[in-house]
Amino acid sequence: DTEVTQTPKHLVMGMTNKKSLKCEQHMGHRAMYWYKQKAKKPPELMFVYSYEKLSINESVPSRFSPECPNSSLLNLHLHALQPEDSALYLCASSQVGAELYGYTFGSGTRLTVV
Amino acid sequence: AQRVTQPEKLLSVFKGAPVELKCNYSYSGSPELFWYVQYSRQRLQLLLRHISRESIKGFTADLNKGETSFHLKKPFAQEEDSAMYYCALKPSNTGKLIFGQGTTLQVKP
């Protein structure tokens, strides 16, 4: 298995809802990432997990809460989001210390906040 | 500051023409550079990494430390090359990947 799988593919949520995005990989990668991508813009890093521990938080608002329950799974919990949070949320993974060999990206969850 | 600059938002060429997508970086250390491609409605895919000096789908990229550039080149563009191309920098000792703004390559028949 050489893929990063993200679910759901699409999500519409109200500003008072709580929802979660899920990311899974079975490549044995111990680094996992959340990126946010607005239309026609590059991905922007949100969080990095290394060996299931949060190593980078790019000053992301607390309404986004990441979780890495095990080495294959990465979640992003969403609560009280704003319409401007609507975007494509990408998950990626890589080998720790071997990032120069590249990152594998999922196809993303397209989030719309209404 | 760590930054990646892709000066062209859109590059439009005819099929069979040479292509060069420009990428300049700003980084004080030894850079690790990548090109990623995003075809319409598909996931972001790794195209090239500077350490491997490989050619993928006819594309090559050479790191020029003097000019702080990592331009992507292909001698003869194909219609299926039409996509968004991102140059990305990975600073040392961090898993972070910094993307340029991207260049849309449009190859016309």
At residue A96, the pLDDT reads: 80
Interface A–B counts its CB contacts (< 8 A) at: 54
- Which of A3, A45, A46, A53 best tests the B interface by mutation, with the highest count of B CBs <10 A? A45
Interface membership of B92 toward A (CB under 8 Å):
no
Interface membership of B29 toward A (CB under 8 Å):
no
- Looking at chain B, which residue has its C-alpha nearest residue A6? B43
Say if the Cβ atoms of A43 and B99 lie within 8 Å: yes
What DSSP string describes A76-97? EEEES--GGG-EEEEEEEE-TT
Question: Which residues in chain A have their CB less than 8 angstroms from residue B46's CB?
Answer: 102-104
Q: Which percentage of chain A shows pLDDT scores above 90?
A: 86
Interface membership of A57 toward B (CB under 8 Å):
no
**CB contact burial A2-14 (16+ within 10 A = b; e otherwise):** eebebeeeebebe
Q: What is the pLDDT of residues B47-100, one digit of tens each?
A: 998 877 778 899 999 899 999 999 999 999 999 999 999 999 998 877 788 999
* B37 membership: H or E segment, kind and range: strand B32-38
At residue A99, the pLDDT reads: 65
Q: What is the pLDDT of residues B2-41, one digit of tens each?
A: 899 999 999 999 999 999 999 999 998 888 899 999 998 8
